């Protein structure tokens, strides 16, 4: 009798393990199928509960919670969405791509129940759901401190999973075209005044150019370029817009413009 009971227990455990392995395989296959079509998987409440919250799971999921519908008036969400897609595409087309991590998004209008489940009242928000256990504090991305550039998000992914993603951006021809236009204008002016190039040796011209460069740099524009912070922050509960960041380790783009404006006003008396 004891032998039969032991045999039944082993058979039951083996069957459960087999069912668990089959379920996990089906989930991974489905996630890979979605990723092959879209680098960022769009999830609603049902998909989130089944493929992110419910075990078994041997993969990490990085989710952007957002509100992209026009009536939500979330300009920052659109910018963050673009950077998140740059990161996901970089991973999707990387030679190191595996099924260890996936990228997904939950829009408030498609998964408001998920927002309620997680007690989430702001967007955009980035969360990491590890393969085992609940997300820790470090699994919530510090958006206000680090900004939402794809490079910063890639560093966060590396911190949480040890997966290194080389960010590859689509070619942007605006910069080279603008530089070419500027050089053409300067070259044209130099050609028209080829008999009188004294302005190139004018101290006031160089002083004004240096002053403009100094004002742009001291206002924090370079920090914005590196970190990619939002222009401002709108409180989803009160609707109040903040142009000055509350932390001394971060800033909004609006702060750069404010500092630049005050710096220019300081030079008017001179």
Note whether 14 and 134 are same-domain residues. Answer: yes
Using one digit for the tens of pLDDT, what is the confidence trace for 65-117? 999 888 888 878 888 899 999 999 999 998 889 999 999 999 999 989 999 99
Residue 239, pLDDT > 50, answer yes
What confidence score (pLDDT) does residue 59 get? 94
Residue 2, pLDDT > 60, answer no
Note whether 26 and 157 are same-domain residues. Answer: yes
Last residue of a domain, one of 108, 129, 161: 161
What confidence score (pLDDT) does residue 87 get? 95
Q: Buried (b) or exposed (e) across 163-183, using 16+ Cβ within 10 A?
A: bebebeeeeeeeeeeeeeeee
The more confidently predicted of residues 270 and 77 is 77
What confidence score (pLDDT) does residue 213 get? 83
Note whether 249 and 152 are same-domain residues. Answer: no
What confidence score (pLDDT) does residue 120 get? 87
| Percent of the chain predicted with pLDDT > 90 | 34
CATH code at position 6: 3.40.30.10
Q: What tokens appear for 165 in the block?
A: 């993603």
Note whether 129 and 77 are same-domain residues. Answer: yes
Measured in whole angstroms, the distance separating CA 66 from the mean position of its chain's CA atoms is: 11
- The answer to whether residue 247 sits within a structural domain is yes
Q: Dihedral of the CA atoms 171, 177, 180, 185 (nearest 10)?
A: -170
- The answer to whether residue 119 sits within a structural domain is yes
Note whether 50 and 156 are same-domain residues. Answer: yes
Q: Which domain holds residue 229?
A: 202-267
Over range 9-28, report the average pLDDT: 68
The more confidently predicted of residues 160 and 214 is 160
CB 229 within 8 A of CB 250: yes
Over range 204-209, report the average pLDDT: 82
- The answer to whether residue 44 sits within a structural domain is yes
Q: How far apart are CA 84 and CA 151, in angstroms?
A: 10
- The answer to whether residue 183 sits within a structural domain is no
CB 51 within 8 A of CB 27: yes
Q: What tokens appear for 98 in the block?
A: 């595996």
SS3 100: coil
The pTM of this model reads 0.66
Last residue of a domain, one of 142, 161, 180: 161
**Which residue, 16, 27, 81, 14, is CA-closest to 54?**
27
Backbone φ, ψ for residue 250 (5° rounding): -150, 170
- The answer to whether residue 206 sits within a structural domain is yes
Last residue of a domain, one of 133, 161, 189: 161
- The answer to whether residue 185 sits within a structural domain is no
Which of 24-33, 38-47, 237-246 is least confident?
Answer: 237-246
Using one digit for the tens of pLDDT, what is the confidence trace for 30-41? 999 999 999 999
- The answer to whether residue 175 sits within a structural domain is no
Note whether 99 and 156 are same-domain residues. Answer: yes
Q: How far apart are CA 62 and CA 121, in angstroms?
A: 18
- Which string of DSSP letters, residue by residue, matches 195-208? T--GGGG-HHHHHH
What confidence score (pLDDT) does residue 141 get? 93
Residue 128, pLDDT > 80, answer yes
The more confidently predicted of residues 123 and 247 is 123
**Which residue, 39, 153, 24, 16, is CA-closest to 94?**
39
Over range 246-253, report the average pLDDT: 73
Q: How many domains is the chain built from?
A: 2
Note whether 21 and 129 are same-domain residues. Answer: yes
Note whether 122 and 230 are same-domain residues. Answer: no
Tell me the average pLDDT of the chain.
82
Using one digit for the tens of pLDDT, what is the confidence trace for 45-71? 999 999 999 988 999 999 999 998 888
């Amino acid at each position: 009798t004891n032998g039969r009971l032991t045999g039944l227990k082993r058979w039951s455990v083996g069957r459960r393990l087999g069912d668990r392995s089959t379920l996990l395989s089906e989930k991974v296959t489905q996630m890979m199928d979605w990723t092959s079509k879209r680098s960022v998987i769009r999830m609603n409440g049902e998909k989130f509960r089944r493929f992110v919250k419910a075990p078994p799971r041997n993969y990490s999921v990085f989710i952007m919670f957002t509100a992209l519908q026009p009536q939500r008036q979330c300009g920052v969400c659109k910018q963050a969405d673009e950077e998140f897609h740059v990161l996901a595409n970089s991973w999707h087309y990387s030679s190191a791509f595996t099924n260890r991590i996936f990228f997904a998004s939950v829009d408030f209008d498609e998964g408001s129940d998920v927002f309620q489940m997680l007690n989430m009242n702001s967007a955009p928000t980035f969360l990491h759901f590890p393969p085992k256990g609940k997300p820790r504090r470090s699994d919530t991305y510090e958006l206000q401190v680090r900004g939402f550039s794809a490079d910063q998000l890639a560093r966060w992914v590396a911190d949480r999973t040890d997966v290194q993603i080389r960010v590859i951006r689509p070619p942007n021809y605006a910069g080279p075209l603008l530089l070419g236009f500027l050089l053409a204008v300067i070259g044209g002016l130099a050609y028209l005044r080829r008999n009188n190039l004294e302005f190139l040796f004018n101290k006031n011209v160089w002083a004004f150019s240096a002053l403009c460069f100094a004002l742009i740099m001291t206002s924090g524009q370079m920090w914005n370029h590196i970190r990619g912070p939002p222009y401002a922050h709108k409180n989803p509960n009160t609707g109040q817009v903040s142009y000055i960041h509350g932390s001394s380790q971060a800033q909004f783009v609006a702060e750069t413009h404010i500092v630049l404006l005050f710096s220019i006003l300081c030079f008017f008396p001179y």
